[in-house]
């Protein structure tokens, strides 16, 4: 009886704050150094007005009493020292900020890429290729600035708070005059943060959509050129540019409005502090130096411009981290720990049901690939053949049902055991690796060089490889390959792998009839794989199989020998005969 496996539901998106905390922990040492630099810079900014005020008082006192200027000199030297230290800290902060941003961005990209590869084809089923690239490149860069921005925000907060405390130490009424206007500043910051988050989220969403459309257009560039629809496709790809522009202008308006409001409010607070300080000076409660220091502290206390910039960066980082978290929320494929017993490659699919986009693509499929035999799966386009091939080797998991190899469920096998025993060849193989030899031996463990060349000969790839100037050492990007030659490299890669079963997903569709015949003979009689499941589009390929499964609208319509099924007109129509 077929077993039913509950469908995995993706968990909610990973917390953007949690992802940013993890990124900050990754760069903890640099973040600590940044915080120390920020603290040192904030301390220098707060001490400098005091030193300038004391220097002024010492100069004025010296002139009044006729005494020497030794005290003034010491305070002037203190001011020079503070300015020099702040310049040094600022330079160090710039270097640390740049390296921390780069390090954190690289870590985020690495984590997301590893997760995408661990999830496998299911990721690209949910996210368009261009959108994935946009998230990995642009969003990771925005999220990567978070640790350094948090450190800068501490300084941006410490300076205004410290300035208010300094005002209180000079004279309590100065702090009261400033604090009376603080609620207005807080309201401005809250409104800016909320509006910026909405703008950035919309902007990044549209940016990802445009990247997805661009990726589709690049993938179909030959079709577009042949159909002479360049202008139409360009218009389709760029159709959302006005919306992107609107969100971008809205972000600038929000930031500009916040800056304008700050420019309006901040001078009023500064004037209020200076007015109170002038009154206290007339009452002889503070000195002239205190008045100068208070005017500077009032400027530091109203430093909302720095806060606006840092809060805007954090808003962009949180939105970008949320988009990365949506990728990380896709559950990675889980594997077991079992190994296969001795066997000849008996593959059983029982009660397989798979739903995609609300449509049932495979419904109650029961199939057996005989040990040491060949099963060809045929059917019209859209019948679900490629999905069946993916399920058979666990590149995809069924929503219901079970797949067993020599009696062991594929879900319970370790990843190493599964990939060692199942070989794949695809219609459009990805030529990964540096050279042609690398792309044939791609995988872990890597086959030995003699095995690679033997596989290339079996796939009839050796003749065109050896004709190249560098032979097997030819870089993949420099090899002029036709579609059929690329397929032969993919077949050679599958032949080079050991294992119990070989799955060919329409892997000979671009071959000429003679080459297809020779490779089919190699597949059926000279491969080290014990069993074979072939997705076939040609009658000649189906005729060589031990048994044929006729797939129609996601269900098995008939199973039998090709010659027997050929007697049925509907079966012949599958091949256009």
Residue 475 scores a pLDDT above 90: no
pLDDT tier for residue 349 given thresholds of 50, 70 and 90:
very high
Residue 529 scores a pLDDT above 50: yes
Residue 556 scores a pLDDT above 80: yes
Residue 91 scores a pLDDT above 50: yes
Residue 7 scores a pLDDT above 50: no
Residue 294 scores a pLDDT above 50: yes
The tokens 């990726």 sit on which residue? 215
- The separation between the first and the last C-alpha atoms of the chain, rounded to the nearest angstrom, is 37
pLDDT in tens, 151-200: 888 777 888 888 888 888 888 888 888 787 777 766 766 666 666 767 77
pLDDT in tens, 51-80: 888 888 888 876 544 455 567 788 889 899
pLDDT in tens, 136-155: 888 898 899 888 888 888 77
* Token code pair at residue 279: 């009154």
* Sheet of strand 347-356, all strands in order from the earlier edge strand to the far edge: 359-369, 347-356, 400-405, 408-409
pLDDT tier for residue 232 given thresholds of 50, 70 and 90:
confident
Report the alpha-carbon distance of residue 288 to residue 40 in Å, rounded.
27
Of the two residues 267 and 447, the one the predictor is more confident about is 447
pLDDT in tens, 389-398: 999 988 888 9
Which domains are assigned to the chain? Answer: 16-328 (1.20.1560.10), 347-574 (3.40.50.300)
User: How much is the average pLDDT of 378-387?
Assistant: 87
| Ranges 85-99, 116-130, 193-207, 276-290, most confident | 85-99
Q: Which pTM was predicted?
A: 0.72
Q: Is 91 exposed, middle or buried (0-12, 13-18, 19+ CB in 10 A)?
A: exposed
Listing DSSP states for 234-245 in one string gives HHHHTTTHHHHH
**Helix 483-496 with 449-458: angle, nearest 10 deg:** 130
Report the alpha-carbon distance of residue 41 to residue 36 in Å, rounded.
8
Q: What is the pLDDT of residue 306?
A: 63
pLDDT tier for residue 247 given thresholds of 50, 70 and 90:
confident
What is the DSSP-derived secondary structure letter of residue 220? T
With CA atoms as reference, report the closest residue to 467 among 447, 455, 454, 481: 481
Q: What is the pLDDT of residue 5?
A: 39
Q: What is the pLDDT of residue 526?
A: 58
* Sheet of strand 422-426, all strands in order from the earlier edge strand to the far edge: 422-426, 501-505, 531-535, 374-378, 547-552, 555-560
Backbone angles phi, psi at 404, to 5 degrees: -125, 140
Average pLDDT score, the chain: 82
What is the DSSP-derived secondary structure letter of residue 497? S
Q: What is the pLDDT of residue 2?
A: 38
Residue 277 scores a pLDDT above 90: no
């Amino acid at each position: 009886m077929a077993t039913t496996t509950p469908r995995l539901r993706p968990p909610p998106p990973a917390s953007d704050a949690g992802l940013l905390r993890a990124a900050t922990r990754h760069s903890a040492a640099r973040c600590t150094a940044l915080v120390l630099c920020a603290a040192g810079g904030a301390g220098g900014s707060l001490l400098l007005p005091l030193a300038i005020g004391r220097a002024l008082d010492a100069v004025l006192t010296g002139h009044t009493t006729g005494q020497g200027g030794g005290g003034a000199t010491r305070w002037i030297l203190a001011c020079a020292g503070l300015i020099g230290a702040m310049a040094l800290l600022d330079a160090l902060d710039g270097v640390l900020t740049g390296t921390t941003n780069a390090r954190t961005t690289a870590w985020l990209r690495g984590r997301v890429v590893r997760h995408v590869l661990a999830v496998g084809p299911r990721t690209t089923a949910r996210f368009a290729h261009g959108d994935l690239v946009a998230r990995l490149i642009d969003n990771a860069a925005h999220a990567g600035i978070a640790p350094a921005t948090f450190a800068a925000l501490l300084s941006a907060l410490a300076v205004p708070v410290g300035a208010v405390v300094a005002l209180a130490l000079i004279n309590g009424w100065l702090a009261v005059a400033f604090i009376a206007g603080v609620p207005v500043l807080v309201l401005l910051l809250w409104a800016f943060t909320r509006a910026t988050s909405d703008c950035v989220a919309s902007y990044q969403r549209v940016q990802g959509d445009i990247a997805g459309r661009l990726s589709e257009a690049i993938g179909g560039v030959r079709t577009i050129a042949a159909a002479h629809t360049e202008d139409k496709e360009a218009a389709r790809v760029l159709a959302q540019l006005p919306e992107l522009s609107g969100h971008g202008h809205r972000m600038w308006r929000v930031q500009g409005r916040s800056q304008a409001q700050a420019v309006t409010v901040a001078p009023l607070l500064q004037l209020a502090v200076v007015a109170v300080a002038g009154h206290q000076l007339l009452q002889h409660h503070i000195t002239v130096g205190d008045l100068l220091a208070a005017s500077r502290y009032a400027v530091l206390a109203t430093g909302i411009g720095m806060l606006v910039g840092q809060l805007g960066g954090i808003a962009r980082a949180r939105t970008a981290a949320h988009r990365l978290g949506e990728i990380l929320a896709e559950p990675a494929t889980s594997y077991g720990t079992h190994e296969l017993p001795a066997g000849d490659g008996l593959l059983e699919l029982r009660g397989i049901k798979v739903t995609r986009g609300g449509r049932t693509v495979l419904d109650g499929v029961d199939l057996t690939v005989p040990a040491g035999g060949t099963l060809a799966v045929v059917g019209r386009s859209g019948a679900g053949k490629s999905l069946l091939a993916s399920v058979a080797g666990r590149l995809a998991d069924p929503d219901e049902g079970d797949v067993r190899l020599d009696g062991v469920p594929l879900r319970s096998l370790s990843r190493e055991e599964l990939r060692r025993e199942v070989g794949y060849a695809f219609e459009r193989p990805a030529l990964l690796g540096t050279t042609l030899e690398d792309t044939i031996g791609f995988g872990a463990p890597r086959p030995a060089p003699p095995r690679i060349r033997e596989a290339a000969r079996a796939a009839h790839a050796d003749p065109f490889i050896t004709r190249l100037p560098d032979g097997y050492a030819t870089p993949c990007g420099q090899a002029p390959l036709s579609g059929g030659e690329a397929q032969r490299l993919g077949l050679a890669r599958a032949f080079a792998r050991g294992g119990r079963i070989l799955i060919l997903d329409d892997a000979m569709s671009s071959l000429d009839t003679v080459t297809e015949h020779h490779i089919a003979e190699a597949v059926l009689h000279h491969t080290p794989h014990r069993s074979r499941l072939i997705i076939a589009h040609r009658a000649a390929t189906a005729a060589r199989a031990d048994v044929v499964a006729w797939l129609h609208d996601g269900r098995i319509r008939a199973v039998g020998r090709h010659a027997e099924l050929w007697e049925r007109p509907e079966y012949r129509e599958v091949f256009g005969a």
